[in-house]
Structure 1
């Protein structure tokens, strides 16, 4: 795979290595948004079919991306917190007495379970990483596996850790979760789109993914797979469009008790957003064309030399087998000042994030060797000047 920067509008003098924060827009996605805005100038051209057609297309595309059995298994939501709150509302608390999450997990995948535990007298098990970097990722995965037992109600984590890219073996973790009849919930925001994921293989009960990072879409739209154990649940909202026969606008006053089939009942209100949905469609089309496995391979190859050299400069990084290729955390030597490093990064227009104790680097297919070389030089210079 070659660099895809020509499909974006990124300036040459900025080195954007921060897709885990917010992706830039593809030109095709930008154009879809512009056309969506212009469409409101002629509202008489918006027919009842427009409220359903693009939404169904988006479901089909995301279902293909995560290998969901049916498009109707996909819900359109405004945020990950919305999706996780939907799951929390619809799990059976009698199935267990503890919820397992990993330490320093993104807040949206923590607060929902804290509230659930408070309301249902449930224990929240937070599995922190081990000290040091000797087999850190492997040991962390084992700790999570060891925390799952017959009392486990639910396991909730990301495919990769959002602060430093530590990879979690969700296939193995999911198998033990199912063997204990617990629910398995994945926040795919930092993985879906940049690495392959198969909800049928991991048998997750839910996979929720924000659209504005690795899915290359706009802000304020999230896609969620919800499996069979949840599809008869109660939505957070009672919107008209998620009820049976909502396609018949003339019959909307014939109120329906039943919902649309599958996960569609969990859609947010105004899910047919005529700006965001077309943008998200274009973004996922492009990702499917590139293929997540190719994106992952491109990012790994792009950063291979940098990752190999970092320990020589005193930086710490997770072992290759236990980190994602598209994002990783660099922990600084004691002699290196984070403020000094940040100043140097800013001066050279290098865009990364500080998350927890790690400097998070998150390249994508719009990056090239020049971006990585610039980061390499700054990290080397700062370490040598310490």
Structure 2
């Protein structure tokens, strides 16, 4: 692993903008935007689009997505959102009446509503895990997994405070009790190394517009081998064997393509989004996820100390994602703190009584200096 030098030159971020909001929306590189423009421009002359073009982008991108999470290519499906991916997972998980579905307190809504609906339709019980005392969030979750657990659904990183879940330990305990394990990696994939083979989840959902720096409405699903003969949400034509022969599409087939391809969304061949997404994923892979993680860990270790010194206390590194800082604000912090920072070109999020500060490789020392200086000023005033 190595520390990556600053990559701001790849982005269109003005010098007077300090952007610490990757967890809300990661900026795209100029190269990814150009790739998207070129892809969209194909629709200017639809007669130039070949039948093979409907398959070429996904054929290139599917193995790249697999590399991101150390998975096999056959396990990857294209989805437009995490909610779509989780709905697919829910449609392929069997629960008995009275079994428990475990979720975390303050989990992202898309990763709660789907399990509420599944609990209602199956008679399962939805149980929310809260952190108690000095125990970590992972410890609290692990303590609740047992013989009556049918499903654990959580994120690798909790979006509100950056709390880190020990997904390898959770995966092992789920296997010990025969429980399904569904993971949302939206707030970690691309910035925190994840190995599917070690964790062995049933399903993984990822949105591409945050830490993967891709366009909105892009993402992917991973399905474990035992689920790859499952039921897709849609019955679309392009996931069937023989779909590339346009002249014979009326020779209807009940056979799907390889692996998790059956779960691909309809109209997956998006000529604008897929080239931009591919460009973004290639950039992440060129950097190396482990290198991104190490670089952000190093930068955040320094920034957290500086934030602590001005009265905003960050969780210990062992309890948070290395790419995520969510310091606790003092009671005296102004309600419009983020608006004041925004007025000076400094962009962060606020989640409850915490700031959410999520830098990336485009963040430079000038940005962090401005953030600490102005934050200290507004907290004093």
* TM-score for both structures, normalised by structure 1: 0.95
Q: 1:211 aligns with which of 194, 199, 208?
A: 208
Measure, in 1, the Cα distance between the counterparts of 2:159 and 2:47.
44
Query: 3-state SS of the aligned residue for 2:103?
Result: strand
SS of 2:59's equivalent in the other structure is helix
Deviation per CA, 1:261-300, whole angstroms, max 9, x where unpaired? 2110001110011111111111000000001111122222
Deviation at 1:242, TM superposition (A): 1.1
1:373 to 366, 369, 373: 369
**2:278 maps to 1:275:** no
Aligned match of 1:297: 294
The answer on 1:115 being equivalent to 2:111 is no
1:140 aligned residue? 137
Deviations 1:34-75 (A, max 9, x none): 101111122122112111121011111000111112x12100
Per-residue displacement from partner, 1:104-134 (whole Å, max 9, x unpaired)? 0011111110000011111111112236xxx
Residue 95 of structure 1: CA displacement?
Answer: 9.4
Uncovered stretches (5+) of structure 1, i.e. residues with no partner: none
SS of the equivalent of 2:362 reads coil
- The question of 1:262 aligning with 2:265 is answered no
Query: Could you say what secondary structure the match of 1:338 adopts?
Result: coil
**Correspondence 1:49 to 2:52:** yes
Distance between the aligned counterparts of 1:336 and 1:355, measured in 2? Answer: 13
Where does residue 21 of structure 1 map in the other structure?
Answer: 24
Paired residues of 1:344 and 1:378 also in contact (CA < 8 A): no
Deviation at 1:243, TM superposition (A): 1.4
Distance in 1, Cα, partners of 2:20 & 2:364: 10
Contact 2:116 2:126 in 1 (8 A): yes
* Contact 1:302 1:372 (8 Å CA) reproduced: no
CA shift for structure 1 position 247: 1.4
Structure 1 contact 302–369 (Cα < 8 Å) conserved: no
Q: Are 2:256 and 1:239 aligned?
A: no
Q: Is the 8 A contact 2:97 2:122 kept in 1?
A: no
| TM-score, structure 2 normalization | 0.96
Aligned partner of residue 58 in structure 1, secondary structure: helix
1:347 deviates by 2.7
Which consecutive unaligned segments of at least 5 residues does structure 2 have? none
Matches within 5 A, 1:305-384: 305-339=302-336, 341-384=337-380
Query: What value does the CA root-mean-square deviation take over the aligned residues?
Result: 1.4
Q: Tell me how many residue pairs correspond in the alignment.
A: 378
Distance 1:96 1:90 in 2: 18
